[in-house]
A and B are shown apart, each in its own frame.
Chain A
Amino acid sequence: MLEIAVRRRVGGFALDAAFAVPPGVTALVGASGAGKSTIVALAAGLARPDAGRIVLNGRTLFDGAAGIDVPPHRRAVRVVFQESRLMPHLSVRSNLLFGRRRVTPRPSRPSLEEVVVLLGIEGLLPRRPRSLSGGERQRVAIGRALLAGPEALLFDEPLAALDAARKAEILPFLERLVAATALPILYVTHALEEAERLAQRLVVLAEGKVVADGPFAETAARAGVATAAERLAAATELVATVSGHDEAYRLTLLALGRHRLTAPGVFGRPGDEVHLRILARDVIVAREAPQAVSIRNALPGTVRTVVRGDGAVAEVAIDIGGAVLRAEITRKAADELDLAPGRAVYALVKSVVLAEAIGS
């Protein structure tokens, strides 16, 4: 069990966080600048809290009031950094054994062979870090931490620098590692998909404060953090009325407040209510009224909120008068369109999508 209760102020930023990391994986998530990496540095002893206590398995590593500050090399808290930090002048084998030669043996410590097999790095031992791929480097960094006989493991966004393919390559190794160990593991990330796969517990950090802490699914729901599964299902429920039909083109015309929508197929009678469920990922956002495109449904509105985060996706809420439509677009698009509350935009929905969206 790693117990952390720390305060630290740097410039205008104040970190004041307390939580525990029991054996197993606890994910620490939050936007960049929330203080995640600072917590790792404080727990590892690479930075000093202004006040607080850090206790590992009953051993006090830091106590501001008692004047205890165990230096990093005596903490047995091993860190896997985002940028690997392998020693460029040493071979992979020497890197793996770097910590091992320096710490007193513990019965729980795995052997080089076990770690090499677990991480699938058998063929890399004589090589230099420079000749490795990003994913290979991270696996070596993980092995190095394990071989140093950790009492706690800290992962500081270990996959953030890797592309999707490398992430997919390394995640199974992490899952195996997590299953094979009973150490307290703090896994810092801003990618919730990673956290979902690995962690049993979740700590959500915002502006230096813990806003939620507990079992993963529960905590994610409580903190309003959309998990990957939830994001896929994000949608807007709307009620429209049938206003007419276009028999020649086999279309039904719908009225939604002041807007006109077209849905494929002929159904209902004028005046009938239809429920629409429009998935956020099916909504396209445009700054100008589109011309010469196949989309028939362009709803003028204004941006109400934009939630950007650090991931690839941004969520935009568009007020279309009487209803708020959720749209999921890439964060890049949100930046390039300069989306901000109050901006006039068009929400585009393909007519075909409306067919799937219409419930009974």
Chain B
Amino acid sequence: MTLGFGPDEIEAVRISILVSTVGTLAALPFGILAAYALARWRFPGKTLLDGLVHLPLVLPPVVTGYLLLLLLGRNGPLGALLDQCCGIVFSFRWTGAAIAAAVMGFPLMVRAIRLSIEAVDRRLEQAASTLGAGPLGTFFAVTLPLAAPGILAGTVLGYAKAFGEFGATITFVGNIPGETQTLPIAIYTFIETPSGDASAMRLVALAIAISLLALFASELLNRRLVARLSG
């Protein structure tokens, strides 16, 4: 017992932080790539990609979770393949919860990053190329640093969405204490349990504290980034 929290409650917080962090960080490279493609490239199927990226934002989370289950479940086409070739299983594991978190946070993340990449002055990228920087060098030396505040904002939004994710997670990986029971799912479970009100209240308070702290930290980081960029 620490600070009056029960083992199930501590487990839920641990899993939530683990799942959101891993999910968001794993989604970030793909988010930057998708945002860059949508902001800068012209290719057939761009509208389709745009729609696909935004789909989790408009679909009921339960539907997203069910689609993930169909695709990545043990009997799903991708899930079966991953299980056979590499022994990777997502269903009813915390890694599956991380995937659900990543997918749900993805649209918000891409939106913010895309806007910041669109705002980067392309004339600076051109100048970099005349100085000998190739496309990749230009991206890492110019585009990425200048888009950093937007990337941070996108990460924070994605993380917040992942941290609060409920529907897709419970549909895809269920409600297993110590494995897939995240903080929102734990709160829901405690509310449903006759004697769980106190536990639920403690977790609610903790959720508020964590959210405020994250918001404060990101604001601080953002200020420093903006100050650094504007010299």
List residues of chain A with CB under 8 Å of any chain B CB: 44-46, 71-79, 81, 83, 85, 87-89, 98-99, 102-103, 127-131, 144-145, 148
List which B141-175 residues lie within 8 A (CB) of chain A. Answer: 141-142, 145-146
Residues of B contacting A128 in the complex (Cβ-Cβ under 8 angstroms): 231
Tell me the complex Cα distance, A128–B132, Å: 22
A78 x B229 contact (CB < 8 A):
no
Interface centre among A88, A103, A129 (most CB of B within 10 A): A88
B127 x A88 contact (CB < 8 A):
no
Please, which residue of chain A has its CB at the minimum distance from the CB of B231?
Answer: A128
Take A129-B231, A131-B231 as given contacts and tell me if A79 and B142 are in contact as well, using a CB distance cutoff of 8 Å.
no
Please, which residue of chain A has its CB at the minimum distance from the CB of B127?
Answer: A85
Question: Is the C-beta of B128 less than 8 angstroms from some C-beta in chain A?
Answer: yes
Please, which residue of chain A has its CB at the minimum distance from the CB of B121?
Answer: A85
Tell me the complex Cα distance, A77–B123, Å: 16
Residues of A contacting B146 in the complex (Cβ-Cβ under 8 angstroms): 88-89
A73 x B133 contact (CB < 8 A):
yes
Residues of B contacting A88 in the complex (Cβ-Cβ under 8 angstroms): 124, 146, 229-231
Question: Is the C-beta of B42 less than 8 angstroms from some C-beta in chain A?
Answer: no
B145 x A148 contact (CB < 8 A):
no
Interface centre among A77, A98, A127, A129 (most CB of B within 10 A): A98
9 closest pairs, A vs B, by CB? Answer: A128-B231, A99-B131, A85-B127, A102-B132, A103-B132, A72-B129, A130-B231, A79-B130, A148-B131
12 interchain pairs (CB within 8 A)?
A73-B131, A79-B127, A81-B127, A87-B141, A88-B146, A88-B230, A89-B146, A98-B128, A102-B133, A102-B134, A128-B231, A130-B230
Please, which residue of chain A has its CB at the minimum distance from the CB of B229?
Answer: A89
Residues of B contacting A75 in the complex (Cβ-Cβ under 8 angstroms): 130
- Minimal beta-carbon separation of A132 from chain B (angstroms): 10
B130 x A44 contact (CB < 8 A):
yes
Please, which residue of chain B has its CB at the minimum distance from the CB of A147?
Answer: B131
Tell me the complex Cα distance, A83–B145, Å: 20
A85 x B231 contact (CB < 8 A):
no
Tell me the complex Cα distance, A74–B133, Å: 9
Partner of A102, one of B123, B127, B131, B145: B131
Interface centre among A71, A99, A144 (most CB of B within 10 A): A99
List residues of chain B with CB under 8 Å of any chain A CB: 123-124, 126-134, 137-138, 141-142, 145-146, 228-231
Tell me the complex Cα distance, A91–B167, Å: 48
Kindly list 13 other residue pairs between chains A and B, CB separation below 8 angstroms, not including A73-B133, A81-B123, A88-B229: A46-B126, A46-B129, A71-B134, A81-B127, A85-B126, A85-B127, A87-B124, A98-B141, A102-B131, A103-B132, A129-B231, A130-B230, A148-B132
Tell me the complex Cα distance, A88–B143, Å: 11
Tell me the complex Cα distance, A98–B231, Å: 17
Tell me the complex Cα distance, A99–B137, Å: 11
Tell me the complex Cα distance, A76–B133, Å: 11
Partner of A83, one of B123, B134, B138, B142: B123
Residues of A contacting B134 in the complex (Cβ-Cβ under 8 angstroms): 71, 73, 102
Residues of B contacting A44 in the complex (Cβ-Cβ under 8 angstroms): 130
Tell me the complex Cα distance, A176–B126, Å: 27
Take A46-B126, A98-B141 as given contacts and tell me if A145 and B131 are in contact as well, using a CB distance cutoff of 8 Å.
yes
Partner of B124, one of A76, A85, A131: A85
Tell me the complex Cα distance, A177–B212, Å: 57
A89 x B145 contact (CB < 8 A):
yes
Tell me the complex Cα distance, A324–B132, Å: 55
Partner of A77, one of B127, B130, B228: B130
Residues of B contacting A129 in the complex (Cβ-Cβ under 8 angstroms): 231
Take A85-B124, A87-B124 as given contacts and tell me if A73 and B130 are in contact as well, using a CB distance cutoff of 8 Å.
yes
Residues of A contacting B145 in the complex (Cβ-Cβ under 8 angstroms): 89
Tell me the complex Cα distance, A87–B142, Å: 7
Tell me the complex Cα distance, A228–B176, Å: 85
Residues of A contacting B130 in the complex (Cβ-Cβ under 8 angstroms): 44-46, 72-73, 75, 77-79
- Minimal beta-carbon separation of B61 from chain A (angstroms): 38
Partner of B123, one of A74, A85, A103, A145: A85
A89 x B231 contact (CB < 8 A):
yes
B126 x A72 contact (CB < 8 A):
yes
Residues of B contacting A89 in the complex (Cβ-Cβ under 8 angstroms): 145-146, 228-229, 231
- Minimal beta-carbon separation of B161 from chain A (angstroms): 28
Tell me the complex Cα distance, A289–B218, Å: 70
